[in-house]
Amino acid sequence: MSYYIAPPCLKEIEELYRDEDLLIVNKPDGLFTVPGRGPENRDSVLVRLKDKYPTMTLVHRLDLDTSGILILALSKEATSHINRQFQLRAVNKYYTAVLFGVVKEDEFTISLPIGPDWNDRPRNKIDYEAGKEAVTKVTVLDRDVAGNQTRVVFKPVTGRSHQLRLHSKSIGHPILGCDLYAHEEAFKQANRLMLHATGIGFVHPTKGKWVSWETDVPF
């Protein structure tokens, strides 16, 4: 059976912070978080860092083409604590994206349920009958009327697969460079998916204090 083979990722993982419990990294676009399907897609954050950090556990993921901040737990206590924060929606994370078209509203919320599109995997779809709750808060940063683009910040309340890509498409403003949900014009306007996990904040699992990190947007 055929499957997608990702081009080699020559970019490095940037380590932003490390202590006994946590490793915070900046993942480059084009690198899997965990190995993809098939031996050709083994290169990933997990494979690259596992020998250096044998106790490392992933507590969340980013899509192959999404760059930005990832939390990696280095102890069982940290894994449990951070997983719980994700379950309680207590982790504050936000993304920067560039969308096709000029978005009119300055701030708004997209609340549309998401489920798998079994007839067109790996895509998902808006599914009002069987989909799971998906909520995204959107704030416009800048409008490029001449370029027909809008730069936004996404604050996902939920964490469904492809949520930001699909919610963007659903309002008629797909993310530039998105190979799964953008129409041809929007896809060709960028040489990568214009989506970056810019910042994250949560309660440190052992220190008990709020910690946060932010990265520069590479586009």
Here the CATH number for the domain that contains residue 53 is 3.30.2350.10
Q: Mean pLDDT across the stretch 70-79?
A: 97
**Segments of the chain assigned E as strands:** 14-18, 22-27, 57-58, 67-73, 92-100, 107-111, 114-116, 124-126, 135-144, 149-156, 195-203, 210-214
For residue 107, give its domain range.
95-195
Question: Does a structural domain hold residue 67?
Answer: yes
pTM of the predicted structure, to 2 decimals = 0.95
Same domain for 177 and 125: yes
Same domain for 152 and 79: no
The whole-number pLDDT of residue 151 equals: 98
The whole-number pLDDT of residue 196 equals: 98
Q: Mean pLDDT across the stretch 56-79?
A: 96
Total residue count of the chain as it appears in this document:
219
Tell me how far CA of residue 90 lies from CA of 17, 70, 114, 160, 204, in angstroms. Answer: 20, 16, 21, 15, 12
Same domain for 117 and 156: yes
Question: Does a structural domain hold residue 54?
Answer: yes
The whole-number pLDDT of residue 195 equals: 98
Quote the CA–CA distance of 22 and 57 in Å, as a whole number: 10
Residue 210 in this model has a pLDDT that exceeds 90: yes
Same domain for 176 and 106: yes
- Given the structure tokens 């932003």, which residue do they identify? 16
Active site residue 127: no
Quote the CA–CA distance of 195 and 193 in Å, as a whole number: 6
Q: Please state, for a pLDDT cut of 70, what percent of the chain lies above it.
A: 100
| Active-site position among 63, 106, 120, 179 | 63
